[in-house]
Amino acid sequence: MKKLFALFLIFILPIFCMAGEMPFINATASPTEVKPLLAESGFQIIGEYTPYSGTQIIVISHKLLQDYAAKTKQGGFAASLRVAISNNKVSYNNPVYQAAVYHLKNDLTDIKVKLKNTLGDAGQFGATQTRSIGELKDYHYMAFMPYFDDLENLNKFKSHQNAIDTVKSHLNSNNAAKNIYQIDIPNSNQTVIGFAIHSGDGADKKIMKTLKNSSAAHLPYELLITGKDVVMLHPKFRIAISAPDLTMGDFIDIMSAPDAIIDLGNNISKSK
């Protein structure tokens, strides 16, 4: 009996205790409370916009989040989190889920606790089932679809600052996109620029019509300038991590979106 109990503790109990994650968390805070609560808790509001009527996106960061991003190659992709206010409901990215899919060295449990204490936690959503950290670190939608490391290499510049200036200049003059935020990650050569997409096959509104069971905290997209290089996550990966159970029929509905987003990325990062 003792041996059976020991085997239970070693092999069976960990399965029941294993916490799975989903992409998003429903908040308990009301829309009017969000900004004051974030400010009181040390979160920085680094950008906000309205992608379509009835929905507001608030992009946030935190000193700890940026410190963790600096210690991970391409960690800048995880340097921001998004809070969505839609239909009078508040939701936000699950930091632990994001840490796993973006391969951060830190699991962001402390950031998740801070957000829970700030905006509340009424439960996870965005997937039909939770996924383990191991599954998320190796996530791709299906066979022959991109992983996290399958980045789109958009351009290489003379310097880091030259890359930043060029991308921002293109965004300022591009009718299809808009600069939403920028994070210059301390103690690293990483800068993240987030941008809205107003029109075309990759437009925010069009994507979110298909990602109906996800949160608008999927938005906005981002470029990462690391050293002299400008890269972005492959849109097929970026969309899939926000909607891991998207049906093939849904993916077909937005089949032209990934290429449209890549084309936009190339346009806003091309050399002048």
State residue 251's pLDDT score: 86
Instruction: Supply the pTM of this predicted model.
Output: 0.92
* Average pLDDT of the chain, as a whole number: 93
Q: What is the pLDDT of residues 89-124, one digit of tens each?
A: 999 999 999 999 999 999 999 999 999 999 999 999
Rounded to 5 degrees, what angle do the CA atoms 132, 133, 136 make? 90
Query: In angstroms, rounded to a whole number, what is the distance separating the alpha carbons of residues 128 and 36?
Result: 33
- For residue 186, pLDDT over 80 is answered with yes
Cα R_g (the chain), whole angstroms: 19
Q: What is the mean pLDDT of residues 142-156?
A: 96
101 close to 137: Cβ distance less than 8 angstroms: yes
Q: What percent of the chain has pLDDT over 90?
A: 89
Q: What is the pLDDT of residues 5-58, one digit of tens each?
A: 444 444 444 444 456 999 999 999 999 999 999 999 999 999 999 999 999 999
Query: In angstroms, rounded to a whole number, what is the distance separating the alpha carbons of residues 218 and 220?
Result: 6
State residue 9's pLDDT score: 40
The terminus-to-terminus CA distance of the chain in angstroms comes to 74
Q: What percent of the chain has pLDDT over 70?
A: 93
State residue 22's pLDDT score: 98
Q: Dihedral through CA 127, CA 128, CA 133, CA 135, nearest 10?
A: -100
State residue 1's pLDDT score: 53
Query: In angstroms, rounded to a whole number, what is the distance separating the alpha carbons of residues 162 and 203?
Result: 27
Q: What is the mean pLDDT of residues 198-225?
A: 95
Q: What is the mean pLDDT of residues 142-161?
A: 97
176 close to 198: Cβ distance less than 8 angstroms: yes
- For residue 226, pLDDT over 80 is answered with yes
